[in-house]
Amino acid sequence: MNPSEFLSAAGLGLGTGLALIVAIGAQNAFVLRQGILGQHVLPVVLVCAISDALLIAAGIAGIGVVITAVPAVVVVIRLAGAAFLVAYGVLAAKRAIHPGALTASGPGSRQARPAGPARPPLAPVLATVLALTWLNPHVYLDTVLLLGSVANQQGPELRWWFGAGAGLASVLWFSALGFGARYLRPVFAKPAAWRVLDGIIAVVMVALGVKMVLGL
């Protein structure tokens, strides 16, 4: 088989993956906020990228057939995810009412730290991003079912190249979102900016949670 066919399949996977992932959502909003704060960015990005890679691989391997055959699993995930998103949205709303700000750690320093609460431990941050990822039924629809189906349409020799391209899309997107968010820190030196961001996050989280409950 011509090497260009492998590259073409990987490129198709990259484009398809980016088309699905580059949209405002619970996971992206959380990664953006962590990036602006500069808190545990690398672990958060790695969890998101690795999770997507595992889900894409599962879809290519045929796990999507099992999910389709047992819809009760999706229902449980949907309800649990909805409850988590609404709860997180309420917390974001509280932060919007009582916003913090970023302050320089020292004269001439390029680093920034959030005013108010101390840097949170890694464990609860990872627990949050894992919940936002694995309790979102749309993640399964996009990665396991959709990307898995498109990948398998490429044939047995090209489907994993497509999956590699889709996985690369996740790595590129979450890295750009998490590490690129630091350039927004000057804007978030003002509490009003955090009020707007957390207000948007609250609306997004609650809206997604309600949509999940309604099965939309």
One-letter-per-residue 3-state SS of the chain: CCHHHHHHHHHHHHHHHHHHHCCCCHHHHHHHHHHHHCCCHHHHHHHHHHHHHHHHHHHHHCHHHHHHHCHHHHHHHHHHHHHHHHHHHHHHHHHHHCCCCEEECCCCCCCEEECCCCCCCHHHHHHHHHHHHHCCHHHHHHHHHHHHHHHHCCCCCCHHHHHHHHHHHHHHHHHHHHHHHHHHCCHHHCHHHHHHHHHHHHHHHHHHHHHHHHCC
pLDDT-derived band at 179 (thresholds 50, 70, 90) equals very high
Residue 54 belongs to what domain range?
A: 3-214
Considering 98-102, 188-192, 195-199, the range whose residues carry the highest mean pLDDT is: 195-199
Cα–Cα distance, 157 to 124 (Å, whole number): 41
Number of domains in the chain: 1
Q: Is the pLDDT of residue 176 over 80?
A: yes
Residue 108 has pLDDT above 50, yes or no: no
Compute the distance between CA of residue 216 and CA of residue 205 in angstroms, rounded to an integer.
14
The whole-number pLDDT of residue 115 equals 45
> With 60 as the cut, is the pLDDT of residue 149 above it?
yes
Model confidence at 72, in pLDDT bands (50, 70, 90)?
Answer: confident
Q: Is 36 exposed, middle or buried (0-12, 13-18, 19+ CB in 10 A)?
A: buried
Model pLDDT, residue 123: 93
Highest mean pLDDT of the ranges 5-9, 67-71, 164-168: 164-168
